[in-house]
Structure 1
Amino acid sequence: MKFSKYYLAALVSFTIWGFFSLALKPLHDYASLDILFYRVFFCAVIMSVISLLGRTKVLKENITIFKNFSPGQRQKITVLTLSGGFLLTANWFFFIYVMNHISVKAASFAYLVCPIMTTVIAFFVLDEKLSKWQWTAVLLSVLSCMLLSFSNIADIAYSLIVAASYAFYLVGQRQNVGLDKFLILTVQIIFSALLLLPFYPVYSEGVPTELSFYALIVVIAVVFTILPLFMNLYALQKVRSSTMGILLYINPLMNFVIALFYFHEPINMVQVAAYSLILLSIIVFNEKYIFGRRRNVIAG
């Protein structure tokens, strides 16, 4: 199977997210909602400026394309785009809360459940077929999550919420076709900002004064939000939601390694076994990409 630029975009996006804790953990003294507010507001401003000033031609072309769609198409794109913005907002808040107030491993566990949810939802909603190897990978993933759940029962509820929000986002955006992906993401971020704006005066703990806060927020906005999300939407044009879900395992695997070696969080043999199964499931699920070229050479 050809290793496409869409597949590469998916790999790179999830690899970038694997380092997210390095930028987020230094902000643990700030309220989760404040981090979310400024992350979304900065993203909305940056993306609006890019779309209005740097991509004017693309904006005009897509407005014309949208107007030429049938009423049913316009409604579908509108619903998928706005619901995507809502799901992103929910996902970000719960992830930040779990990362900073529960543990890095608990946040990682959420993204262990998410690939399974995404794969199963895509199977039923999008009718994405899976090979025997891929179903084997899903079963390995389920087994790994069961192992981890025994020592993290209190964190399961948070993990399921984080996982479900992004799983439904991936599946929904797989169907959101016809318009420029960066423009769709811009609308979703602006919608997210509008959702959060009424809550800012009430729930914000005050305007931060430290320059380090704003520096980290800019890094989070550009490097850990705009760039990987755009790559996700770009990849979804050709990569199936189920494949995107399994590739999402790259994120928690990297989080686990960082939690262990950088933040020195405690670990036991059950967790080592579970994460080893996850690594194996990634290899099994993507065996066509990993071993496909070799099989072709032998066949030739």
Structure 2
Amino acid sequence: MADRTGKPLATTGAVPAAVVPGNGDSPRGFLLAAVAYACWGFLPLFMKGIAHIPAAEVVAHRIVWSVPLVGAFILWLGRTADLKVALRSPRMLAMAALTATLVTFNWGVYVWAISVGRTLEAALGYYINPLFSIFLGAVLLKEKLNRAQLVAIGFAVAAVAIIAVDAGGLPWVSLGLCVSWGFYAFFRKTLPVGPNQGFFLEVMLLSVPSLAYIVYLESSGQGHFTDTGIADVVWLISSGVVTAVPLLFYANGAKLLRLSTIGIMQYIAPSMVFLIAVFVFHEPFGMVKLMAFGLIWMALVIYTGSMLVESRNARQAAASLKA
């Protein structure tokens, strides 16, 4: 997920649910996933360009303009059967409404954070997300944590504590993004539809209140689509493009990659967001934040190393069974 921002869904082990373990990586899959992560990495630059528009209005347009793009893609693929089943199932519609609510909250916090100069906090939230997903798996699914995962989670908690003490309060932007996306990914796994169809179902459900909100803004003179010039029109329509297109690239690339490859690639986007925050937006990055991010980076190195070892052991075990 998608996210950050349309970013990819992660399982409780922070590996996208759409990915199926395979024998190797496809160059085409790597390219598609890399394009998706790069788009998400550059997303703060786009959001900064529309920082003068309220976050709620931006999110509403992201939803509305995503619908025709993803809908056309699904029709082109001829994969509408899952949607027809979902639309006839009250349980699936209820779960889609829940995940749609979570992703809307996530998008709203993200857009607002960029607009008010808190991009570093957004990057921190998405760095923490894989570790929070592991925590969710332990708490909700009773998955057993290994020693490396426990250490990694401990480092993440310490990083949040350092920032909280320095700021005089919890970094709610980071935690809001992390928690909302973590639960979104967790519940999204219960929707037995493909990633493209699931995303379309979510934005389709959201499109009705979003469109009503846009109509209200425009009719009351508060909107930016009809009253403020062609530039805002282009920006707002493009918000649907930058939301839907990376997700489509990712969904079709991830299934051609190994779990371990996606597990490493997921750090591309928050790393780019971090660099943009520091070197383009010039957000303050003092010693305290350096200590906190340092702990997070150490945690991710430990977690990723553990994941790669487990992946290698699983492949060796599978190979020995075939022998």
Return the TM-score normalized by structure 2. Answer: 0.72
How many Å apart are 1:11 and its aligned residue?
Answer: 7.3
The runs of 5 or more residues in structure 2 that have no matched partner are: 1-20, 317-323
Residues 261-291 of structure 1: CA distance to partner in whole angstroms, max 9, x if unpaired? 1111221112112212222222211114556
Q: Quick check: 1:231 aligned with 2:250?
A: yes
8 Å CA contact 2:105–2:180 kept in 1: the answer is yes
Q: Distance in 1 between matches of 2:252 and 2:145?
A: 21
Amino acid at match of 1:37: A
Name the structure 1 match of 2:7.
Answer: none
Name the structure 2 match of 1:201.
Answer: 215
Q: Distance in 2 between matches of 1:113 and 1:196?
A: 30
Name the structure 2 match of 1:58.
Answer: 79
8 Å CA contact 2:124–2:293 kept in 1: the answer is no
Amino acid at match of 2:47: L
How many Å apart are 1:41 and its aligned residue?
Answer: 1.0
Amino acid at match of 1:62: D
8 Å CA contact 1:33–1:203 kept in 2: the answer is no
Return the TM-score normalized by structure 1. Answer: 0.77
8 Å CA contact 1:90–1:165 kept in 2: the answer is yes
Q: Distance in 2 between matches of 1:201 and 1:218?
A: 15
How many Å apart are 1:105 and its aligned residue?
Answer: 2.0
**Equivalent position SS for 2:121:** helix
8 Å CA contact 1:147–1:274 kept in 2: the answer is yes
Q: Quick check: 1:44 aligned with 2:67?
A: yes
How many Å apart are 1:15 and its aligned residue?
Answer: 4.9
How many Å apart are 1:133 and its aligned residue?
Answer: 1.3
Amino acid at match of 1:46: L
Name the structure 2 match of 1:180.
Answer: 194
Identity %: 20
Identify the range of structure 1 (7-16 vs 269-278) with the bigger mean alpha-carbon deviation: 7-16
Name the structure 2 match of 1:120.
Answer: 135
Amino acid at match of 1:228: L
Name the structure 1 match of 2:205.
Answer: 191
Name the structure 1 match of 2:123.
Answer: 108
Identify the range of structure 1 (268-277 vs 8-17) with the bigger mean alpha-carbon deviation: 8-17
Q: Distance in 2 between matches of 1:262 and 1:250?
A: 17
Q: Distance in 1 between matches of 2:111 and 2:170?
A: 14
Higher helix proportion (structure 1 or 2): 1
Name the structure 1 match of 2:110.
Answer: 95
Q: Distance in 2 between matches of 1:284 and 1:3?
A: 23
Q: CA RMSD in A?
A: 3.8
Q: Quick check: 1:18 aligned with 2:41?
A: yes
8 Å CA contact 1:181–1:233 kept in 2: the answer is no
Name the structure 1 match of 2:57.
Answer: 34
Q: 1:219-258 alignment to 2 at 5 Å?
A: 219-228=238-247, 231=250, 250-258=268-276
The runs of 5 or more residues in structure 1 that have no matched partner are: none
Identify the range of structure 1 (99-108 vs 179-188) with the bigger mean alpha-carbon deviation: 99-108
Question: CA 1:288 to 1:161, structure 2 compared with 1: closer, same or farther past 3 Å?
Answer: closer
8 Å CA contact 1:106–1:152 kept in 2: the answer is no
8 Å CA contact 1:82–1:188 kept in 2: the answer is yes
**Equivalent position SS for 1:81:** helix
